[in-house]
Amino acid sequence: MSQTLVSHDPATGEVVWSGAHGDVADAVTRARTAFPAWAARPLAERIAILERFAELVKADTDDFAALIARETGKPLWEAKTEVATVAAKVAISVRAHAERTGERVDAAPGGSFALRHKPHGVMAVLGPYNFPAHLPNGHMVPALIAGNVCLFKPSEKTPAVGERLVRYYHEAGVPADAVQLVVGTAAEGRALTSDPRIDGVLFTGSSTTGVAIAKALAERPGTICALEMGGNNPLVVWDTDRLADSAAIIVQSAYTTAGQRCTAARRLIVRDSVADPLMGELLPLIDRIRVGSAFDDPQPFMGPVIDNDAADGLERGYAQLVEMGAKVVRPLERPDAGKPFLTPALIDVTGLSGLPDRELFGPVLQLRRVADMDEAIAAANDTAYGLSASFVGGSEDDWQRFWRESRAGIVNRNRPTNGASSAAPFGGTGMSGNHRPGAYYAADYCAYPVASAEGDMPEGSMAIGLR
């Protein structure tokens, strides 16, 4: 394996970053040494450092966004929204830490009963490429506030963004060994998760990798494991006369970030009586989507997918569905075979059975027409995933039934499947997560509760069973 890692601009193929692979064993050693001092700092001091981090990120918005756009290919407007979420995460995490891991002391005769929280120790944070700053930051900020130290392995496709994020932490005052960048590929990821000195693994990425992490940690139940994985997410459109609004919700759900969101809609389930009028609004809107490079003027709605390998895989997955009988409504096209730009695709899979239950991580949306609510809910739940679902239109009773019977950690009404709030828990069921939701609930896996019975002085008595 090469000891130099290189990342490229997906739109141009130009080199964005190159550097050496990290030394996992050395990084863990230094992190273990750094943990006691960081954990011992007063909470107010740790919070003040993270607040400085937020200010540094905000002050550097334009440059940071440009780097994200270059390395991921996402449009500059979208990269700027990612930078904003990175900075906003601090205030949200401070509030969540106080609310979910606070201290309570109750008076008792001769002493008290107390509830406090402790950090776990050394946390391995494994980040994805689609939101290379926002998503790992969503683990690291609450972890650092709680007193943990972090070893951050960014996606091998976005090391430059990972390096910049760590630089902001250090400039704000987080000690160098308390947040470390560990550059590498799957080999470094496996080395991190297999090191017994790691106290927690916080992962965002594919279900395949998440399952492998869970297996690697199966014999280490004391290692905290938070898995935020993929989704084969349904969007159901029911009776509504707001067809233009519904079409906009569909496009935002399926094609934002070129479909490279774990919460993106993959399956569009539509009541038969609504389908044709809805297509009359949806198809012209799809045709208006501008696909282009991050810095184009005017700005595109979609950039490329992350690289040619990803584009190749999406083309294969799309072709398989067409071979199985899917009707092409809007094709998946690749204008330049040497670059990973793809057009937004819509295919009709109504009546087909045996379709693969997988996350096509790109701009491919599958349409299924259904007759009634029973069929709609069955279709929505026909997946091993359970991250996000959305219900558009319908009556209040329809919505209540969908919310009650749908299996997902995020269930929206008249809103896109994506764009989840950082001020709410984020996670899913089945192959989408392991019941450790992140975002606002990240505080739960960044600290553990400690109950204490505390006497003012030693007192003890034994009244039964003595000679």
Tell me: the pLDDT tens digits for 92-104?
Answer: 999 999 999 989 9
Q: Which of 449, 447, 448, 457 is nearest to 114 (CA)?
A: 449
Alpha carbon 61 to its chain centroid, in Å, reads 21
What domains appear along the chain, each with residue ranges and CATH number?
4-229+433-453 (3.40.605.10), 233-413 (3.40.309.10)
Instruction: In whole angstroms, give the CA distance from residue 30 to residue 357.
Output: 42
On the question of pLDDT at 419 being above 90, the answer is no
Average pLDDT, the chain: 96
Amino acid at residue number 457: M
Contact indicator for 266, 307 with CB cutoff of 8 Å: no
Tell me which DSSP letter residue 123 carries: E
Q: Which of 333, 336, 328 is nearest to 283 (CA)?
A: 328
Peptide bond into 298 cis (omega under 30): yes
Q: Which of 50, 79, 37, 84 is nearest to 169 (CA)?
A: 50
Task: Report residue 144 as tokens.
Answer: 């650092």
Task: Report residue 245 as tokens.
Answer: 């609004």
Q: Which of 314, 287, 291 is nearest to 302 (CA)?
A: 291
The phi, psi pair for 204, rounded to 5°, reads -130, 125
Average pLDDT over residues 376-399: 98
Average pLDDT over residues 41-46: 98
pLDDT at 420: 85
Instruction: In whole angstroms, give the CA distance from residue 158 to residue 127.
Output: 9
The pTM is what? Answer: 0.95
pLDDT at 460: 86
Strands (E) across 77-135 are located at 104-108, 111-119, 122-126
Contact indicator for 360, 317 with CB cutoff of 8 Å: yes
Half-sphere exposure of 51 (CA within 13 A, CB side): 9
Per residue in 93-134, pLDDT tens? 999 999 999 899 999 888 999 999 999 999 999 999 999 999
Contact indicator for 420, 428 with CB cutoff of 8 Å: no
On the question of pLDDT at 306 being above 60, the answer is yes
Strands (E) across 326-446 are located at 327-330, 345-348, 364-370, 385-386, 388-392, 410-413, 425-426, 429-430, 438-439
458 Cβ partners below 8 Å, 6+ apart? none
Q: Which residues are catalytic?
A: 228, 262
* Higher pLDDT, residue 229 or 3: 229
Length of the chain: 467
Q: Within 147-242, where are the H helices?
A: 159-172, 186-194, 207-216
80 Cβ partners below 8 Å, 6+ apart? 61, 62, 65
On the question of pLDDT at 2 being above 90, the answer is no
Contact indicator for 433, 442 with CB cutoff of 8 Å: no
Task: Report residue 150 as tokens.
Answer: 């972090």
Residue 401 burial by Cβ neighbours in a 10 Å radius (0-12, 13-18, 19+): middle
289 Cβ partners below 8 Å, 6+ apart? 251, 255, 301, 302, 343, 344
Instruction: In whole angstroms, give the CA distance from residue 160 to residue 183.
Output: 10
Q: Which of 123, 103, 97 is nearest to 35 (CA)?
A: 123
pLDDT band at residue 12 under the 50/70/90 scheme: very high
Per residue in 192-222, pLDDT tens? 999 999 999 999 999 999 999 999 999 999 9
On the question of pLDDT at 399 being above 50, the answer is yes
Contact indicator for 363, 332 with CB cutoff of 8 Å: yes
Reported as type and span, the H/E element at residue 89 is helix 76-100
Residue 335, sorted as left (phi over 0), alpha (psi -120 to 50) or beta, turns out to be: alpha
Alpha carbon 13 to its chain centroid, in Å, reads 26
Distances, alpha carbon 131 to alpha carbons 8, 262, 327, 431, in Å: 16, 10, 32, 20
Helix axes 24-40, 186-194, angle to 10 degrees: 50
